[in-house]
Amino acid sequence: MRKFNFTFTPQKLTEANKKIKRTFPSANQLGKERKKKYENLDLEQLLEKISKTEEDKIKDFASGLKNRDIYALAYNFNNISKGLMYKVKEILTYRFKKSMVKIMWNNFTKDHENQYIISFFKEKIGLINRLKFRGSPYNLLVDLFSNDSPVKGIIDQIVSLRLNYEEWINRFHLKRESKLAQAIISNLFIQPNIDIFKQEENELLVKLFSYLNGNSFSKIAENYLELFSVEEFEEELMQLIKEKMGDPVEEYSVTWQNVSDIAYARAKQWFNNKEMEEFFINIEADDEEGRRRFNYWKKYLDTVEKVKYIREELQLFLIFKDIVVIEFGEINNSIFIYDRNYFENNLVKYTVENNKADNKKFKDTSKCIDWIRHSSSWETKTDSIIQDLIK
């Protein structure tokens, strides 16, 4: 039997609903229209008059302004030249109205370092307190602007209340792309508090941190690397760190000089471990043998300076301070150990993708320090040799 699906749209009811909204707009719609009206007012003449008014006469000047002029100055505050901001701030504090609080908070979220906006709130803090706002963030402004740094005040609240990203974005009425939101992220995730990271999904953390650059990102990366153990590092975050700061295993990554030694060492260890694990997953031996060899070399990761995996040739180079150990992915192979100086002078040139060499190049028993077959007790013999060489 054929089935039919029917939908019904009450056209007249929909049109009536639209008409009601046009006739009786919501408070939110009215606010948006009012904001647009004031933002579009031509302030050139008004600002010119303000510039010509002496500072000691500014309150008298403010007394003669119409409400629309006051609101136009408030809505456009961030676009006013720095040279006039002090006078405009004085006008707004003198002609203060409750509705200005929301306008100036919105301005603050766009320019949280503006000292004139901060001064506006600090000067009116007593009056704002008496107005007793109910909803956040306006009921929190007294605490925030009583603090030396409002951003620090926000951070303190987020940490003490254990707010996640969505919660504090909504609590402080922030747009995700606002300068204040970015400043909070930059300062929040450098706190020595592992729960700040743990309460967010990794996908969100990657998205938030991807907008940061330079010192802001480096500080967060350093904090993450210090708070978590190497085993806890997440793939997505580590790849972002590598993308932003360079490969910590490579000597040319000068960005890593700006982080602590422990953060740098852990990052390098994680990437070395990843490189080594990938190699032993792909060797021609069975899975059990691959895990056995991986687990053996893993204990040396805190000593290895660099791990290099040449994928096409299935070659793994473990570069220590004074020696280089080479593992091969083919069946029935041996471990070869070279002096590092000899390796760098003669063999390192064959460890780049565009100049690879086959395994024979690295199996010179007359030039190596030693070589060990993967026999039943190869670990014991290798330990005795390696530990003697890396003392």
Residue 140 domain-assigned (yes or no): yes
Residue 308 domain-assigned (yes or no): yes
What residue numbers bound the domain in which 200 lies?
23-211
Q: Identify whether residues 161 and 81 lie together within a single domain.
A: yes
Does residue 248 have a cis peptide bond before it, meaning omega lies within 30 degrees of 0?
no
From 165, 195, 211, the end of a domain falls on 211
Q: Is the pLDDT of residue 95 over 90?
A: yes
Q: Identify whether residues 201 and 290 lie together within a single domain.
A: no
Residue 82 domain-assigned (yes or no): yes
Residues 14-48 pLDDT 10s: 676 665 555 544 445 545 555 555 555 678 899 99
Mean pLDDT of 40-57: 88
From 178, 211, 244, the end of a domain falls on 211
Choose among 290, 272, 267, 303: nearest CA to 383: 303
Q: Identify whether residues 290 and 172 lie together within a single domain.
A: no
Mean pLDDT of 218-236: 97
Q: Identify whether residues 33 and 150 lie together within a single domain.
A: yes
Residues 292-302 pLDDT 10s: 999 999 999 99
Residue 363 domain-assigned (yes or no): yes
Q: If you average pLDDT over every residue of the chain, what do you get? A: 89
Q: Identify whether residues 297 and 182 lie together within a single domain.
A: no
Tokens 């803090």 sit on residue: 125
Q: Identify whether residues 167 and 287 lie together within a single domain.
A: no
Cβ contacts of 372 within 8 Å, gap of 6 or more? 334, 335, 337, 378, 381, 382, 385
Residue 219 domain-assigned (yes or no): no
Considering its fold, how many domains does the chain have in total?
2
Rounded CA gap, 144 and 303, in Å? 48
Residue 46 domain-assigned (yes or no): yes
Residues 102-123 pLDDT 10s: 999 999 999 999 999 999 999 9
Q: Identify whether residues 202 and 289 lie together within a single domain.
A: no
Q: Is the pLDDT of residue 60 over 50?
A: yes
Q: Is the pLDDT of residue 220 over 60?
A: yes
Residue 1: per-residue pLDDT:
45
**pTM score, whole prediction:** 0.81
CA 187 to chain centre: 10
From 211, 241, 273, the end of a domain falls on 211
Q: Is the pLDDT of residue 366 over 80?
A: yes
